[in-house]
Chain A
């Protein structure tokens, strides 16, 4: 009991210190709902957007996304790109400083990027920076760290050499994997540099306190080069993984922002909160993948027929209340320079005509009513929305082809482990959201040598060749065209049936200004302000 009392007293004292400070003066505080506890603040090891939101408020890369989702200079003031597109030279801002007042140097970026590619670091997203010369080999331990194509020319000049021209490289640099680390601070604390009290950051905010699963508090960084334009004094992130609880706290006016609530709430929330409900189409695709190794799914006619029979409008508008948009091809809209994707011909038909064609196609393949019966198992990861989608699709296939459809669901880890380890299946749900706004990020999933991501085991030499050509192509327009041809093959062969493009759902309180909806889902707190 004594133990209990003592720990309680300490807890209360600690919370009193943290929260007492916040209520003392009329500070501009943003209460930011954040959909879950960050697994770590070490950006070599983070993997999801909600972690990105926190670390990008704390640290600033060479480039950043503005509130409209456009790439703008961050810690780098300007840059030049060599004529062959392989050497990027960045000028780091003279007034870029760490929160301890020391200057941000090219050496800090060099150090951070080497650390990410160091096999010892085991960074989950090391591949994001693979376009850098020798990155993949360094990461595999085949070359020493010094061979990585990054170089601090002097304190304020940072040079990156690439393997090949990479048109989306400036976007990659805005990814959290490319954030800098204060070398001096890391040498002092090692992996513990992410803890409150240890952390030194170069972004608009600095870490003040972190109570796991309760709050993560960041305060304005006075040393930040653009501090004069940062309007918030403090941002409190609430790591709430229960979306219903997040919405209730928004409704109780305890939180100003809520990220990704349940789609079935959209209608109700729109009625009560109007334009505080934001539905942002994002660079993400929700799809069903077929196991192309086994009959009947090895038959393109069966795959196409099944895909055609899915009423995507119904899924998007009825199940997701408009929080997702119907999709007919893999690459989501909104990729700069790509334009309209390669839509299959049948997408222009009405749903009734598609179903008629689908029945005919299925008959031709020898399945369906009056032919070989179809028995389909749909696998998905456990989630209320995915279950509703699977149930609806099962119904559509039952009605169109007289198929028997069963549903199997596993938790997310087991579901993907099964697919990634090459387990046999009929039809399985999968989703992909862009790491960077380039079609390659989606198309590469279907390359035959991509053992992990190519769940369908799609094996098309024609497709692989087009992708290889796109990697070698230096002319951006020609490269886009090659990728469009590659996507047309996916649309023709339907190893996957793209169903919807995902939207990100946000609740943005009317007291917040500076908010911009954008497809890359980047929302730095430095652009936001709050009114009382």
Chain B
């Protein structure tokens, strides 16, 4: 065999099984979402108090009027059928709390902010984490490795409700380099701090995952073979070891992306970002049933889609995985 032979491994692959795999997965997503909707719908009603139990209680007549307006005076099963019936047609109902908007409007307005911030944070976390993890793995047990991993441990353990305010105090209040919060005109200066606060814990996870997988990959037979063939170590690391090491990273990417793209209540609150993350918390605390349902469905869809994407990516990264 020649050196080139190693690169030209036969890769005969038809797209047919892939398409049917994707279709099957998408079909199974429908009952999954349905089950999630059903469980959340009933679970939520177990929480004591309702959307209109306020610190300042409403007079009984007013309360009756309001409950009738939102059909909350109906038996629960009727409300459920009503909700599912509307949801299927894309009507997720009015928000009980933010009454000027429907749930679809609220989420539709807020999601782009969360997704923009989240996607940038994922990029930083992924690129930074893989880079740091690879460096640490190549210099295993060196001072550099230890300090990178110490940094990663700190990144995972220090919560972003600490990192966020510290960043603002230093860069906005004391140094006045960056705004303390808000979306402003959406320019980079507004996004830097929340992006770092969002990305940091994930970057740390990616770094640790990459390091572990990379060390393992560097000891596998095919890497040893590649090295034995005298391939330059840069090629070995980048095209062969890294590819194998990406598998755990990619598996983690799915839940991570679903979480970051749907916003973080903590980071959005600290930096006063008008994203969708806060609706999870506000919806639940205020017993805004339709808003909670809307956010639950949103996350369910994101998780399903990203898991699917990851499974597809698996097939591309790992020749042992086949979608048939």
B69 adjacent to A122 (CB under 8 Å):
yes
Asked if A517 is an interface residue, CB under 8 A from chain B, the answer is no
Contact for B62 among A4, A8, A124, A453, CB less than 8 A: A124
A7-B112, A453-B57 known; A245+B285 contact, CB < 8 A: no
A7-B112, A11-B113 known; A215+B106 contact, CB < 8 A: no
Instruction: Give A220-245 as 1s and 0s: 1 = Cβ < 8 Å from B's Cβ atoms.
Output: 00000000000000000010111011
Among B28-36, B97-105, B219-227, B310-318, the one that faces the other chain is B97-105
B184 adjacent to A40 (CB under 8 Å):
no
Contact for A251 among B106, B112, B180, B269, CB less than 8 A: B180
B49 adjacent to A413 (CB under 8 Å):
yes
Tell me which residues across on chain B come within 8 A of A251, comparing CB atoms: 173, 180
Q: Nearest Cβ in chain A — how far from B149, in angstroms?
A: 32
A411 adjacent to B186 (CB under 8 Å):
no
Asked if A293 is an interface residue, CB under 8 A from chain B, the answer is no
A4-B119, A122-B65, A214-B272 known; A254+B180 contact, CB < 8 A: yes
Instruction: Give B27-50 as 1s and 0s: 1 = Cβ < 8 Å from A's Cβ atoms.
Output: 000000000000000000001111
A16-B185, A40-B100, A248-B168 known; A414+B49 contact, CB < 8 A: yes
B50 adjacent to A124 (CB under 8 Å):
no
Tell me which residues across on chain B come within 8 A of A254, comparing CB atoms: 179-182
Q: Nearest Cβ in chain B — how far from A9, in angstroms?
A: 10
Tell me which residues across on chain B come within 8 A of A11, comparing CB atoms: 112-113, 116, 186
Tell me which residues across on chain B come within 8 A of A120, comparing CB atoms: 65, 69
Bound CA span A132–B268, Å? 44
Bound CA span A381–B49, Å? 12
B48 adjacent to A417 (CB under 8 Å):
yes
Asked if A139 is an interface residue, CB under 8 A from chain B, the answer is yes
A248 adjacent to B165 (CB under 8 Å):
yes
User: For residue B66, which residue of chain A has the nearest CB?
Assistant: A122
Bound CA span A453–B56, Å? 8
Total interface residues in chain B, CB < 8 Å: 60
Tell me which residues across on chain A come within 8 A of B182, comparing CB atoms: 214-215, 238, 249, 254
Asked if B154 is an interface residue, CB under 8 A from chain A, the answer is no
Bound CA span A411–B182, Å? 27
Instruction: Specify which of A15, A119, A124, A213 lies most central, judged by the most chain B CB atoms within 10 Å of its CB.
Output: A213
Tell me which residues across on chain A come within 8 A of B82, comparing CB atoms: none
Instruction: Give B271-284 as 1s and 0s: 1 = Cβ < 8 Å from A's Cβ atoms.
Output: 11111001000000
**Chain B contacts with A in 60-76, Cβ cutoff 8 A:** 60-62, 65-66, 68-69
**Chain B contacts with A in 103-161, Cβ cutoff 8 A:** 106, 109-113, 115-116, 119
A240 adjacent to B272 (CB under 8 Å):
yes
Among A41-49, A99-107, A162-170, A391-399, the one that faces the other chain is A41-49
Contact for A410 among B48, B58, B106, B113, CB less than 8 A: B48
Bound CA span A122–B94, Å? 15
A139-B62, A213-B278 known; A416+B53 contact, CB < 8 A: yes
A8-B112, A249-B181 known; A122+B62 contact, CB < 8 A: yes
15 CB < 8 A contacts A-B: A7-B112, A8-B116, A15-B184, A20-B185, A124-B58, A127-B59, A194-B100, A212-B110, A242-B270, A242-B272, A252-B168, A252-B179, A413-B50, A414-B48, A417-B49
A417 adjacent to B53 (CB under 8 Å):
yes
Q: Nearest Cβ in chain B — how far from A207, in angstroms?
A: 11
Bound CA span A393–B271, Å? 35
Tell me which residues across on chain B come within 8 A of A8, comparing CB atoms: 112, 115-116
Not counting A20-B185, A212-B109, A413-B51, a sample of 17 additional A-B residue pairs whose C-beta atoms are within 8 angstroms of each other reads: A4-B116, A7-B115, A10-B112, A11-B113, A42-B99, A122-B65, A122-B66, A126-B61, A212-B110, A241-B269, A245-B269, A248-B165, A249-B272, A413-B285, A413-B287, A414-B49, A452-B57
Asked if A347 is an interface residue, CB under 8 A from chain B, the answer is no
Asked if A195 is an interface residue, CB under 8 A from chain B, the answer is yes
Task: State the B residues within 8 Å of A (CB).
Answer: 47-62, 65-66, 68-69, 97-101, 106, 109-113, 115-116, 119, 165, 168-169, 172-173, 176, 179-186, 268-275, 278, 285-287
Asked if A265 is an interface residue, CB under 8 A from chain B, the answer is no
B54 adjacent to A37 (CB under 8 Å):
no
User: For residue A413, which residue of chain B has the nearest CB?
Assistant: B49
**Chain A contacts with B in 457-475, Cβ cutoff 8 A:** none
User: For residue A432, which residue of chain B has the nearest CB?
Assistant: B56
Tell me which residues across on chain A come within 8 A of B99, comparing CB atoms: 39-40, 42, 45
A452 adjacent to B59 (CB under 8 Å):
yes
A413 adjacent to B185 (CB under 8 Å):
no
Contact for A451 among B60, B184, B268, B278, CB less than 8 A: B60
Tell me which residues across on chain B come within 8 A of A242, comparing CB atoms: 269-270, 272
B66 adjacent to A124 (CB under 8 Å):
yes
Instruction: Specify which of B106, B180, B273 lies most central, judged by the most chain A CB atoms within 10 Å of its CB.
Output: B180
Tell me which residues across on chain A come within 8 A of B111, comparing CB atoms: 7
User: For residue B67, which residue of chain A has the nearest CB?
Assistant: A122
Contact for A245 among B48, B54, B62, B181, CB less than 8 A: B181
Q: Nearest Cβ in chain A — how far from B52, in angstroms?
A: 8
Bound CA span A39–B57, Å? 16
Asked if A19 is an interface residue, CB under 8 A from chain B, the answer is yes
Q: Nearest Cβ in chain B — how far from A205, in angstroms?
A: 18
A4-B115, A413-B53 known; A245+B186 contact, CB < 8 A: no
Bound CA span A16–B186, Å? 8
**Chain A contacts with B in 164-208, Cβ cutoff 8 A:** 194-195
Q: Nearest Cβ in chain B — how far from A200, in angstroms?
A: 16
